Amino acid sequence: MEFDAVRATEATVSWIREWFDKNGPGCNAIIGISGGKDSSIAAALCCKALGSDRVIGILMPNGEQSDIDMAKLLVDHLGIEHYVINIKAAFDGILEQMELAGIEIGKDSIINLPPRLRMSTLYAVGQSNNGRVVNTCNLSEDWVGYSTRYGDSVGDFSPMSCFTTAEMRAIGRVLGLPAVLIEKVPSDGLSGMTDEDKLGFTYEVLDRYIRTGEIDDPATKERIDSLHKKNLFKLRFMDCFKYDGVEVKAGE
């Protein structure tokens, strides 16, 4: 079935509006603005649903950010209130304290600490500005676990988690976003590699596999399936022990 970007955009906008009516009447949408397609499209969807006066963008460089001009382009294009909060002091402070404690700092700790600090920042801003935090992940990233748990993988509501990367770009075009934001090659901004370089396959291949089950290279299929299975824990609530020696009677 061909993807109807106009219908998908309208349905998502309606859902965001209804979600806020139930879960935060009059509240603001708080969104981290990276300058990439996902945060740009999520912000544009919220503006269409709530009005630009209820969307607050937070730019969170870790020291110097080479593409911060893209984030500024987005907030100027949408005309939303925004703040720049540099997380470098917090990032450096935690690493310094870990070193003083004698902890050998692994590469993954360095990569995943910034998105977790950014999410903490978004919630701090949200609590000071009557806000609800937007999750900006899409289906393609979620499918292979390309997010940081308790970092960019979380939020109060997730408007785009059922759309692939290609579908997101189509929605971005419907919303009239600048092409440079929609087509920007995604990267983590740390490794010097694109997301696709790190994953080992393109989003085009992944999107096709998700929607049709078709894939040409068996090795790529095996890698995608392995990543999907290994990262499913990121999409569910934490595992909880259920002790049969106690009962819950509240609400009966």
Is position 82 within any domain?
yes
Average pLDDT over residues 211-239: 94
Residue 148 Rama label (left phi>0; alpha psi -120 to 50; beta): beta
3-state secondary structure 210-230: HHHCCCCCHHHHHHHHHHHHH
CATH number at residue 141: 3.40.50.620
Over residues 73-98, the pLDDT tens digits come to 999 999 999 999 999 999 999 999 99
Is position 246 within any domain?
no
Q: Enumerate residues 6+ apart whose C-beta is below 8 A from 95.
A: 105, 110, 113
Is position 59 within any domain?
yes
Q: Enumerate residues 6+ apart whose C-beta is below 8 A from 193.
A: 187
The answer to whether the beta carbons of residues 152 and 58 sit under 8 Å apart is no
**DSSP conformational letter for 184:** P
pLDDT at 191: 58
pLDDT at 1: 75
pLDDT at 188: 61
Residue 102 Rama label (left phi>0; alpha psi -120 to 50; beta): left
Is position 39 within any domain?
yes
Average pLDDT score over the chain: 94
> Does residue 190 carry a pLDDT above 70?
no
Counting the structural domains of the chain, the total is 1
The tokens describing 75, both together, are 């907030």
Is position 245 within any domain?
no
> Does residue 186 carry a pLDDT above 80?
no
The domain of 115 spans: 5-235
